[in-house]
Structure 1
Amino acid sequence: MKVLWLAAFPAPHEAHPAPVPWIFTLAELVSRHPEVELTILNFAEDITVPVDEFDNNGIHFIYLRVPRRRHDILSLYQWRIAIMAKYLRQHYHHYDLIHLHGSELQYQVASAGLDIPQLLSVQGLVSEYAKVVPNPVSKLKFLWMLAGYYECKYMPGIAHFSCRTHWDKAHIARLNPQATIHHNWESLRSEFFAAPTPTAPSGRPQVLFLGGQQEMKGFRETLVAFDLARQRQPELKLVFGGRVNEAEVEQAVQQAGLRHIRPQDVECHGFLTADGLAQLCHESLCLLHPSYIDNSPNTICEAQVAGLPVVASNVGGVSSLIECGHTGILTDLNPRNLADKVLLLHDDPALRHRLATQAQAVAQERHNPASVLQKTLDIYHAIL
């Protein structure tokens, strides 16, 4: 079975690639299966040839040279879409199936009209994400509205979707009532399934936030909630993963007028390896995930698999991952409520242990690599 993925798989030379671990992990699983011959197609703006092809770890990679991001936006993505669409028209007949990973990058526009079975795995839905961007005149709002236009216009042309949560299934059914909706969870990195490495106690309970400085992941709400929590439990520490450093956190604290967060109360680890992130999960009190919108966030899934209790905002598809009071805690974006939930876990070790244990059992079954791989293959066969 020759399968072509259109996926945001970073080119090897990219200095700061976007992290897409669920795609890496599934690609590795699929490429090892003797029944599948996997090719991954993506675009890159800084390659020197129009088409860059190579093989690596049993996967054939193809990267198409596209314009710089500024020119891409000025063309309303049409230039980039046209390059990929032209390539697909010339080469799609070499494959049995096209698997589109997400609708955010207009893959479904480039593949529109091709006479070949297609599957689109929903990651997020930018047409819905754009509705909750706090700043109505921001660049993010504009870009998500633009991507959302392509999403809504071309989703009805896709016959098969792979969804994860109640939320994405409901929106796909609305956008395309004739679609066949399959269910499959994302694959997670093996490091989160491993038993924790024993470490000496750090001395301070730490709250883990992995959204970097992203407004939509609740950066501001996290700082305010942490400031409130430290008024009652001053030993708490806040640990960041993602694109943010200590100076940026300190500046945000000062701008918000928060008086209970000192520089020594914050650690920033940047982008971590899977091992490093799993270790932070094992060392932390809880994961705080107060996002404005999400479908099936990888950070929640990985934390649950690693055995870290989660406090998350009840938005999008998150309640498909967390049964409140059983496999985690759901709340809203009110910093006072977020702080109360963090303190509840801090003050009740038995509750913390129960939520972590129950969530880990559910999540390890939900994201079992063999099950996710088999379901992927079953969907391929059902479509063909």
Structure 2
Amino acid sequence: MRVLWFTNSSVDYQEHITGYNGGGWMTSLKNVLDKEKDIELGISFLLEDTEFKKKINGTTYYPVSHQSGILDKVISKLKYGNNLNKRFRNSDEQYVKKFVDVINDFKPSVIHIWGTEKNFGLICEHTKIPVIIHLQGIINPYLNAFFPPNISLKDFIIKDGLNPFSISKNRKEYNGWKYIADREKKIFRNCKYFMGRTDWDRILTEIYSKDATYFHCEEALRDEFYTALKWKPQKSNKAKIVTTISGPLYKGGDLLLKVANLLKKELDLDFEWEVYGIDNLQVQEKLIGINTSDVNLVLKGMGTSEQIRLALQTANVFVHPSYIDNSPNSVCEAQICGVPVVACNVGGMSTLIKNNVTGVVVPANDPYTMAYSIKEICTKDAIAEKISTEAVKAANKRHNRDEIVMNLISIYKILYDSQNS
């Protein structure tokens, strides 16, 4: 069976071309799928490259250029002016033509699209080959939670100051999100098959694609976290908290500041909080009036999987502050390592965490309960050990790569048979 992936990342392509080893959970899954002799895999992704396709070790890669030339940009600007929606639609149309070229060249039995965030899902209208979309982050509910409490659209637009260029850039970013959200609804309407792993993404499928068929399929994790030494309670007078987040405001950087402030000034916890994935919280500091340096937050920037693994093994607790999420791999990685997790009960989090059993979930925008829960875990070994043990059991079962691949192949076969019956 020939299976074509459309992915938001280049998986292991750049490792083969440049030697850069980005790793990643998709590479982990691909490595297991490569052992299946009945599957021939093609992978297409957005990446500036002169090659239309390149076959490496049995996998055919299709990098699709994601940059327009200067002339194309000028023509688009002249043709559509400031109408961003028309410019975005024109761009999508050009991409779809390239995606169709990839499909015609690879001739897949099944097309597997990873996520609704990009424009890959638009191909559902342009092919009769079975297409299934694996749900990742879902834009419409993300847009609903785009602004943290007490932060408005105006705050977002002027978050970088009153520079006209920055204001225009931020406004365009927000309008771009709205366009992508509308495009996502169209993708949901036109696709017959979806797969996911949480009650939340199943519910959203039923809302936006009422006649679609939904399959449950878990995700693999990065290799390092399967072999990591399991966590034990840390014997130190100073608690260590670890978080991995990205830059958008809805990821909860402001909540980190509020919680850290409570831990230090009200709960008298001696701690250091390592935050990976970002190197500043300047916007959040400005908006809520709490400085990173005053509340023991250490912003580590991007961390390798090995750095994060080591940080987890020496942590007391992992904290996920996001205001919206489906099933963040950072939480799953912490669980499989045995690190107790405290997270906001949003999106798919209640599928990942059984409260007070495999972790702790707290209401979104509740720094008080989050701070209290962190201190409980950091100061009471019995609670931490119980959560750790149950989290490892749940995560090992959930992220068993062999079972994931078996399930994935069975789904591919169902789709293929539906087309050829």
**TM-score when normalising by structure 2:** 0.81
Q: 1:54 offset after TM fit, Å?
A: 1.9
Larger deviation, residues 193-202 vs 31-40: 193-202
Whole-angstrom CA distance in 2 between matches of 1:161 and 1:4 = 15
Whole-angstrom CA distance in 2 between matches of 1:125 and 1:69 = 30
Matching residue of 1:148:
181
Amino acid in the other structure paired with 2:401: P
> 1:167 touches 1:295 (CA, 8 Å); kept in 2?
yes
Q: Which of 406, 409, 419 lines up with 1:374 in the alignment?
A: 406
Q: What is the SS of the residue equivalent to 1:277?
A: helix
Matches within 5 A, 1:32-71: 32-44=35-47, 46-47=48-49, 49=50, 51-68=51-68
Q: 1:215 offset after TM fit, Å?
A: 1.6
Indicate whether 1:82 and 2:96 are aligned: no
Q: Which of 255, 268, 284 lines up with 1:233 in the alignment?
A: 268
Matches within 5 A, 1:138-217: 138=156, 139=170, 140-196=173-229, 204-217=238-251
Amino acid in the other structure paired with 2:111: I
Matching residue of 2:135:
122
Offset from partner CA, 1:98-123 (integer Å, 9 cap, x none): 10100100111134230101111000
Q: 1:372 offset after TM fit, Å?
A: 0.8
Matches within 5 A, 1:337-348: 337-348=369-380
Q: 1:77 offset after TM fit, Å?
A: 3.1
Larger deviation, residues 133-142 vs 143-152: 133-142
Q: 1:253 offset after TM fit, Å?
A: 4.9
Q: 1:87 offset after TM fit, Å?
A: 2.9
Offset from partner CA, 1:277-322 (integer Å, 9 cap, x none): 1111111111111111111111111111111111111111110000
Matching residue of 1:301:
332
Amino acid in the other structure paired with 2:43: I
Indicate whether 1:109 and 2:122 are aligned: yes
> 2:269 touches 2:375 (CA, 8 Å); kept in 1?
no
RMSD: 2.9
Q: What is the SS of the residue equivalent to 2:52?
A: strand
Q: 1:110 to 1:69 in 2, by over 3 A?
A: farther
> 1:345 touches 1:352 (CA, 8 Å); kept in 2?
yes
Matching residue of 1:28:
31
Q: 1:52 offset after TM fit, Å?
A: 3.5
Amino acid in the other structure paired with 1:191: E
Q: What is the SS of the residue equivalent to 2:60?
A: strand
Q: Percent identity?
A: 23
Q: 1:260 to 1:298 in 2, by over 3 A?
A: closer
Q: 1:255 offset after TM fit, Å?
A: 6.5
Larger deviation, residues 227-236 vs 364-373: 227-236
Offset from partner CA, 1:150-201 (integer Å, 9 cap, x none): 1111212211111111111011012112111000111111211224289996
Q: 1:331 offset after TM fit, Å?
A: 0.6
Matching residue of 1:350:
382
Q: 1:68 offset after TM fit, Å?
A: 4.7
Q: 1:31 offset after TM fit, Å?
A: 2.5
Larger deviation, residues 205-214 vs 357-366: 205-214
Q: 1:254 to 1:86 in 2, by over 3 A?
A: closer
Whole-angstrom CA distance in 1 between matches of 2:297 and 2:180 = 35
Matching residue of 2:161:
none
Amino acid in the other structure paired with 1:314: N
Whole-angstrom CA distance in 2 between matches of 1:334 and 1:175 = 30
Unaligned runs of 5+ in 1: none
Q: What is the SS of the residue equivalent to 1:38?
A: strand
Matching residue of 2:290:
258
Whole-angstrom CA distance in 1 between matches of 2:335 and 2:35 = 26
Q: What is the SS of the residue equivalent to 1:291?
A: coil
Q: 1:23 to 1:280 in 2, by over 3 A?
A: same
Amino acid in the other structure paired with 1:315: V
**TM-score when normalising by structure 1:** 0.88
Whole-angstrom CA distance in 2 between matches of 1:165 and 1:69 = 40
Q: What is the SS of the residue equivalent to 1:294?
A: coil
Q: Which of 281, 304, 308 lines up with 1:277 in the alignment?
A: 308
Q: 1:219 offset after TM fit, Å?
A: 0.5
Amino acid in the other structure paired with 1:211: I
Whole-angstrom CA distance in 2 between matches of 1:69 and 1:43 = 15
Q: 1:64 offset after TM fit, Å?
A: 1.7
Q: What is the SS of the residue equivalent to 1:168?
A: helix
> 2:239 touches 2:271 (CA, 8 Å); kept in 1?
yes
Q: 1:124 offset after TM fit, Å?
A: 1.6
> 2:25 touches 2:223 (CA, 8 Å); kept in 1?
no
> 1:85 touches 1:110 (CA, 8 Å); kept in 2?
yes
